[in-house]
Amino acid sequence: MEDKDRIRSEVSRSYGAAVTGGGCCCGGGAAAPKGAVARFAGYSPAELAALPSEAVTNSFGCGNPLAFAGVREGQTVLDLGAGAGIDLLIAAGKVGPGGRVIGVDMTDEMIAAARRNVEAAGAANVEVRKGLIEALPVESGTVDWVISNCVINLSPEKDRVFSEIARVLRPGGRMLVSDIVVRDLPEFVRQSASAWSSCIAGAISEEEYLDGLRRAGLVDVEVRERLTYAASQIDAFLESEEGAPVAASCCGGAPSRVMLAGVAAQLEGRVWSAKIAARKP
């Protein structure tokens, strides 16, 4: 198995475990109070109250990508790495019965959770598809908005993701994603499989992110908002996964979570969530 596939499979294992009761992941692990991640990510209490509780407690985002998006009734929204569906359901309300929302995710447990939440919310305009964000199961030129919440950092092939975004958008279609970006990440953190699933090791710099989107042919590429994490929040991202082997690693001899203990202070100011926008010409 290639390294890229091993990374995807370790990420999928982590998120499958997270949704069935384990811990890991973007926004904090098992010790984070249920629902805290969503509140911290910037959803309003009113938005959260309107959703099935499982969609809120199983959210692992780092922003609220739809907060400032001008999504209109009748449009088509695609969510990359939709997870348990929190943004699918918010998008469903914005596009209304005449619009469509498609979520793509690779993890069976997440797809099952999203489908349960879509059914519980009675959102008939939402479809959840299994697939990779590097090879989207979506027709070219059919989507008005691509959104994503804390997912692209997890991809070992970000240029493929950026090309796929450009492919599926209609001319004039827009992208608005919340994602983790980093500055000067120490190499030993980069090598950690657990820090990868926690949305830190795979994250790239803001400049690399914007350049990648431009190379894919997108325009009006910009950062709209930044939320820089304090050491305590980075610590929550990196915290131990319940029951995980101490040296769990996907990429060969990488540092374990235990070895990462205490690095949060060093990372303060170097890890943030950015809201990144772009448009297909």
Ligand X SMILES: C[S@@+](CC[C@H](N)C(=O)[O-])C[C@H]1O[C@@H](n2cnc3c(N)ncnc32)[C@H](O)[C@@H]1O
Chain residues binding ligand X by CB under 6 A are 8, 11-12, 15, 25-26, 59-61, 81-83, 86-87, 105-107, 110, 132-134, 149-151, 154-155
| Closer by beta carbon to ligand X, 35 or else 281 | 35
- Nearest distance in Å: CB 154, ligand X: 4
- Nearest distance in Å: CB 279, ligand X: 22
Q: How many CB atoms lie within 10 A of CB 187?
A: 6
- Nearest distance in Å: CB 62, ligand X: 8
| Closer by beta carbon to ligand X, 96 or else 137 | 137
Closest CA to 132 of 29, 22, 260, 4: 4
Contact predicate 101/91, CB 8 Å: yes
User: Which residues are paired to 76 by β-bridges?
Assistant: 100
The CB-nearest residue to ligand X is 83
| Closer by beta carbon to ligand X, 82 or else 263 | 82
- Nearest distance in Å: CB 25, ligand X: 6
| Closer by beta carbon to ligand X, 25 or else 185 | 25
Distance CA 193, CA 251 (A): 7
Q: What is the CA radius of gyration of the chain?
A: 17
- Nearest distance in Å: CB 44, ligand X: 15
Q: How many CB atoms lie within 10 A of CB 24?
A: 27
Strands 143-149 and 126-130, by their bridges, are unpaired
- Nearest distance in Å: CB 281, ligand X: 26
| Closer by beta carbon to ligand X, 63 or else 99 | 63
Distance CA 142, CA 86 (A): 22
| Closer by beta carbon to ligand X, 90 or else 185 | 90
Rounded to 5, what percent of the chain is helix, strand, coil? 40, 20, 40
